[in-house]
Chains A and B, each alone.
Chain A
Amino acid sequence: MAAVKKNQPALSALPDITVFNVHEADVVKKYSEVFAGIGGLLVSAGSLENVKDHIIKDFDQGKRILSTLPKLTDVAELADADADPHTLEDVELAIIEARMAVAENGAVWLTEDVMGHRVLPYIAQHLAVIVREDSIVSTMHDAYAKIASEDYGFGGFIGGPSKTADIEQALVLGAHGPLSMTVYLIK
């Protein structure tokens, strides 16, 4: 550390990043386009009630479906925050509500309090995220302005199903994380 102190050059100022203030006129439209472009499935569900119908229609009810939303217990088992994360290995579908979503890149922001378990959105075979339209921001700058100095133990942006192109640049959805990601937009 003494070497770092001795060798670092004279102080150079931080830039002003408030200049990055381009806002989308229609964030919902932009988000929908971008999310579809990154391999996500977007459903304009309108309400949480409609989300239930979609879940029943889109996913196999015979498999394990877990949610952190008490309002979805008709269609999903409520995640138990005290369970060992290894017991989530057989989860087919995880349903989580996002804190916000970002129009420029299609990502949703989740913190551990909405995940139930940190590993849940990563270990499930399929991921469904509920996004309130009024929680969509234009850019990552707006996202961090909203996160501000919030305290969390773990938080993550998730922008689509897990993927790899490590074998000959051929795109494969479903590397280690979910094989698919569905976003249900609600008002």
Chain B
Amino acid sequence: MKSTLDHAALAEEFNKDEERVDWHDGALWWIRQKRDRSAHQTPQWEELREAASAIKSNVISNLHDYLIQFEENLKKNGVKVYWAADAEEHNQIVYSILKAKEIKQMVKSKSMLTEECHLNEFLEERGIEVINSDLGEYIQQIDNEPPSHIVLPCIHKRKEEIGELFHEHLGTEKGLSDPTLLTRVARKHLRNVFLTRRAALTGVNFAVAETGEYVVCTNEGNADMGAHLSEVQIASMGLEKIIPERKHLGVFLRLLARSAIGQPITIYSSHYKKPRPGQEMHLILVDKGRSNLLARPDFRESLKCIKCGGCMNTCPVYRKSGGLSYHNTISGPIGAILAPNLDMKQHADLPFASTLCGSCSNVCPVKIPIHEQLYKWRQEIVKQGYSANRKTFSMKAMALTLSSPEIYKTAGKTGRWLLNNAPFAINNKFNPWYKQRDMPDSSQQSFGEWYAKNGSKK
């Protein structure tokens, strides 16, 4: 027995509030439409995706040398470099950097990697307070929830709920729910945070091997406010964020924000290369399963991901089940192919949380064949014996039915009779397919029976 609920059970919780599901579905589809408009206005869009994918293929095939080159250049630029094999090592490194400077408070901009590593909890246990400064992440932090979307961390929340949180944590008037007024309150509160923190941690969007600089993209300006006011600047990055040359940024920065939210570029694309006089810069390169993923030829292409969230916005399952139902820091289709690499047993349900419609692969700016990988993970998971028993049983029953014409005919007849005369025999709590679904009436005869009667008529 698993101790936590799986995607289906968590999605069922989310589905209890139909109005919220409809809103969530519509909000994400609207972002998908903005992405489409933006892509269609960009000349050579498909060639851009192709080039981005090919650059990332090159990175995957030459990762070792690029990492060495990147490290050398970072050192030349005056940046201290660290290597972490896993979350524990990463968190220890951050802690030791802060401890050496006797720093007790840190401000952080968006970083899915540090979410994955549970850095905040680790530091808090050691007496260091961390504040997430991205507005969506800040809202999730004060509500004690992980982000539900990598680009839009609190997309599952309604403004009234956020107003309630602000009332509780920031002392705003009860009932305040206007997005502009709430944003102004957070701006004022977090400005004071930026001005008083000696240390700032950011994630990394792209790291250039050729120059040793790294690029951080935000719309809010929070990474820059934190970093430029800090005396200790820390960046955490997964090994796969490397790109070979500076000019390749042109390809990725054209794709990223358009794919994410239909914007021509993020408001801020900041290129950090050297510390300011009097400032320390530290960069931590984290493996955490990446080198292991590199060893899986069927799945290594998922290392190309640039975390735009496009696959989530388009996914019919994500839109109707919410990011938190994926019980993984990175949710949606990309999360469902990254998570089993880290722990196949714990995430065995995720590759099944898909209709395999392929929409994710069609919008992916680096052309990861996401739906094909979902299908391959399913095979891998069943082979390793991690699939849910109920599904294995019904799949075996279906295989038997489809392999014998006689059983198939009888089963079809029985099924039609039951649907018309005794629907409760099928639409019951033992059949998970019927949750939140209705079936159309079934026809009186099968195509085989109809053809036998009408096939010979001219």
Binding site for B on A (CB under 8 A): 1, 3-15, 17, 19-20, 22, 34, 38, 85-86, 89, 102, 104-107, 117-119, 122-123, 139-141, 143-145, 147, 149, 151-170, 172, 174-178
Q: Is the CB of A117 within 8 A of B228?
A: yes
26 contacts between A and B (CB under 8 A): A4-B290, A4-B294, A10-B61, A12-B54, A13-B54, A20-B51, A85-B228, A104-B42, A118-B224, A122-B228, A123-B229, A141-B251, A144-B247, A145-B247, A151-B273, A153-B274, A154-B272, A156-B269, A162-B221, A164-B135, A164-B220, A167-B154, A175-B135, A175-B220, A176-B221, A176-B222
Q: Which residue of B lies closest to A16 (CB)?
A: B51
Which residues of chain B are within 8 angstroms of A119 by Cβ–Cβ distance?
A: 224-225, 228-229
| Given A17-B248, A119-B228, A176-B187: A5 in contact with B64 (beta carbons within 8 A) | yes
Distance, CA A183 to CA B292, complexed state (A)? 48
Q: B interface, by DSSP: helix, strand, loop or mixed?
A: helix
Q: Is the CB of B250 within 8 A of A139?
A: yes
Q: Is the CB of B225 within 8 A of A123?
A: yes
Distance, CA A175 to CA B128, complexed state (A)? 26
Which residues of chain A are within 8 angstroms of B179 by Cβ–Cβ distance?
A: 167-168, 170, 172
Q: Is the CB of B265 within 8 A of A8?
A: no
CB distance from A75 to the nearest CB of B (A): 25
Distance, CA A17 to CA B43, complexed state (A)? 14
Q: Which residue of B lies closest to A142 (CB)?
A: B250
Which residues of chain A are within 8 angstroms of B139 by Cβ–Cβ distance?
A: 166-167
Residue B124 CB within 8 A of the other chain: no
Q: Is the CB of B182 within 8 A of A8?
A: no
Which residues of chain A are within 8 angstroms of B263 by Cβ–Cβ distance?
A: 38
Distance, CA A151 to CA B48, complexed state (A)? 27
Q: Is the CB of B60 within 8 A of A9?
A: yes
User: 12 new A-B pairs (CB below 8 Å) besides A176-B222, A177-B224?
Assistant: A5-B64, A9-B294, A17-B251, A122-B268, A140-B251, A147-B246, A157-B270, A161-B267, A163-B267, A169-B30, A170-B179, A176-B190
- Of the stretches B155-163, B360-368, B403-411, the one at the interface is B155-163
Which residues of chain A are within 8 angstroms of B270 by Cβ–Cβ distance?
A: 154-157
Distance, CA A13 to CA B248, complexed state (A)? 14
Distance, CA A151 to CA B249, complexed state (A)? 16
Q: Is the CB of B153 within 8 A of A141?
A: no
Q: Is the CB of A175 within 8 A of B219?
A: yes
| Given A12-B58, A153-B274, A157-B253: A167 in contact with B182 (beta carbons within 8 A) | yes
Binding site for A on B (CB under 8 A): 27, 30-31, 42-44, 47-48, 50-51, 54-55, 57-58, 60-64, 67-68, 83, 133-136, 139, 152-155, 157-159, 162, 179-180, 182-184, 187, 190-191, 194-195, 211, 219-222, 224-225, 227-229, 239, 244, 246-251, 253-254, 261, 263-276, 287, 290-292, 294-295, 297, 300
Distance, CA A89 to CA B248, complexed state (A)? 35
Contact of B194 among A102, A143, A175, A176 (CB under 8 A): A176
Q: Is the CB of A167 within 8 A of B221?
A: no
Q: Is the CB of B265 within 8 A of A9?
A: no
Q: Is the CB of A144 within 8 A of B246?
A: yes
Contact of B291 among A4, A122, A165, A166 (CB under 8 A): A4
Q: Is the CB of B295 within 8 A of A7?
A: yes
Which residues of chain B are within 8 angstroms of A11 by Cβ–Cβ distance?
A: 58, 61-62
Contact of A162 among B152, B249, B267 (CB under 8 A): B267
Distance, CA A102 to CA B250, complexed state (A)? 11
Contact of A170 among B180, B246, B272 (CB under 8 A): B180
| Given A14-B244, A20-B51, A89-B195: A144 in contact with B250 (beta carbons within 8 A) | yes
